[in-house]
Amino acid sequence: MFFGRERELKNLNMLYSSGKFEMAIIYGRRRVGKTTLINEFCKDKKTIFFSAFESTEQANLVAFSNSILTLTLNGSNSTPVFGNFSQAFEHVNEISRDERIVMVIDEYPYLANSEPSISSVLQNYIDHKFKNSKLFIILCGSSMSFMENQVLGYKSPLYGRRTAQFKILPFDYLTTANWVKRYSFENQAIVYGVTGGVPLYVEKFKDTISIKKNLLESLFEQNAFLFEEPSNLLKQELREPQKYNAIITAIANGSSKLNEIATKSGIENSGCVNYLKNLISLGIVRKESPVTEKESKKTIYQIDDNLFRFWYRFVPANMAAIASEKICESYDRSIEPFISEYMGIVFEQICKDYLLYRRKKLPISLGQIGQWWGTNPNRKIQAQIDIVLTSPDEKQAIFAECKYRNEKMDEDILDRLIENAALLKGIEKKHYFLFSKSGFSNKLILRAKREKVVLVTLEDLFQV
């Protein structure tokens, strides 16, 4: 089933309708639906579809030759191999002079690793032959750093040749909810909290059964796809998965500063920095500083991938029950009571997405968004604000608190938010938003009307 990529599909079809040479770069993390999007786009078009793999130059050339000749020889069993990639591109150029042809090279980084000169060869054909053809090239890759630096980067031979680029991201909370429409808003939020909107993960959830049954079948079973997924991704993408596992485990257990992570994982600081950079490039970890502090020494690291965050929070602690196949019996004691607590940070992300993409009107133009933390000198305690969204000139800001609790939010949350917001200097006009899973007390509702504080419930978030 194809859903959620309508804008990207529309833009690809607009490029295709130009009838002239186009080259689209499509990239994003694994499992995010890049190939599904490309297949949907290509299904009614003449296409050479080649998926590169981790092998030799010759093996990839054979596969590429087969992909080309499967189209041009109409399925003939006679599929000669081109002598090199230049000959293969020459053949593609000939057949695309007068006819619209789509040429997809999926997992382009694998091809470039097996044949380091491929980008230069392709650049030469684009500049001297393809630009006068009707060829539509799609280069696709899952290695974010490779695609951004060695395909789109200014040092790449292909720099400036692309006519469009698409960074494919996981679905936001609302698009994810469309997959499980029969669920309550709370359960829709939990599905996003587990999957992070990654399409392949979302597809594992069926809204005809309970959240508990979905999790038991798709994650808390040793043979389940999501049970193996974090480990498999680390093995596929990284050379020393055990060290990355130690770093993620340290962060999942509460370490957020570099020194803490290095100590807990048993890796020296300098090495730990490089490992963290790789995890950031994969979208597993994020680096964060207080939103208004550009050169801050308060940098922290957090798990950014919801499946990794959920897995490391619940699977290691319940491994004995999973291995002995008794997790169904212990789920209500060891998992269910803690899901609400886990959802706190997920709820903050949902609220950020709401402000950035889903709320139609905001009182300010969009600048930076993130959390803020610092010291309250009056109380001599640490202060924290869940969301700060500044205007581009940082003279106005939205301050927000997000509470994923079973009780209604009361005035004390607003009082603390106003007090903490006063710690940020230079902001001339402040706007306040409060997000609550369970609604608001009557006193807070009346006060919010007087003081023009915006109150947003879980229902408001999902009925935009």
Q: Are residues 184 and 118 in the same domain?
A: no
Same domain, 157 and 178: no
* Residue 77 maps to a domain: yes
Domain co-membership, 334 together with 381: no
Do 361 and 281 share a structural domain? no
Residue where a domain terminates, one of 126, 150, 167: 167
335 and 285 together in one domain: yes
CATH number at residue 218: 1.10.10.10
Tell me the Ramachandran region of residue 242: left when phi exceeds 0, alpha when psi lies from -120 to 50, beta otherwise: alpha
Same domain (yes/no): 188, 137: no
Is 100 a member of any domain? Answer: yes
Q: Are residues 40 and 72 in the same domain?
A: yes
Residues sharing a CB contact under 8 Å with residue 241, sequence separation 6 or more, in sequence order:
231, 234, 235
291 and 401, same domain (yes or no): no
Are 106 and 190 contained in the same domain?
A: no
Residue 1 placed within a domain: no
Identify the pLDDT of residue 145.
86
> Please, are residues 288 and 300 in contact by the beta-carbon 8 Å criterion?
yes
**Which residue type is seen at 419?**
E
Token pair, residue 39, equals: 């297949």
Which residue among 110, 143, 167 closes a domain? Answer: 167
Q: Write out the residue range of the structural domain in which residue 210 sits.
A: 173-343
- Residue 276 is inside which H or E element, if any? helix 269-281
Residue 142 domain-assigned?
A: yes
Q: Tell me, yes or no, whether 334 and 359 share the same domain.
A: no
Q: pLDDT tens digit string along 320-374?
A: 999 999 999 999 999 999 999 999 999 999 999 999 999 999 999 999 999 999 9
Q: Provide the number of structural domains found in the chain.
A: 3
Walking along the chain (464 residues) 10 residues at a time, the average pLDDT comes out as 88 98 96 95 96 96 93 62 95 96 97 97 98 97 91 96 96 96 98 97 96 97 95 91 96 95 96 95 93 84 97 97 96 96 97 95 96 91 96 96 97 97 95 98 98 98 93
pTM of the model: 0.92
The CATH number covering residue 356 comes to 3.40.1350.10
Domain boundary residue, one of 167, 182, 206: 167
Domain CATH for 54 = 3.40.50.300
Which residue is it, tokens 């679905």?
171
Name the strands in the sheet holding 135-141, side by side, starting at the edge strand that comes first in the sequence. 47-51, 101-106, 135-141, 22-27, 164-167
Residue 98 lies in a domain: yes
Q: Are residues 303 and 447 in the same domain?
A: no
Whether residues 454 and 377 share a domain: the answer is yes
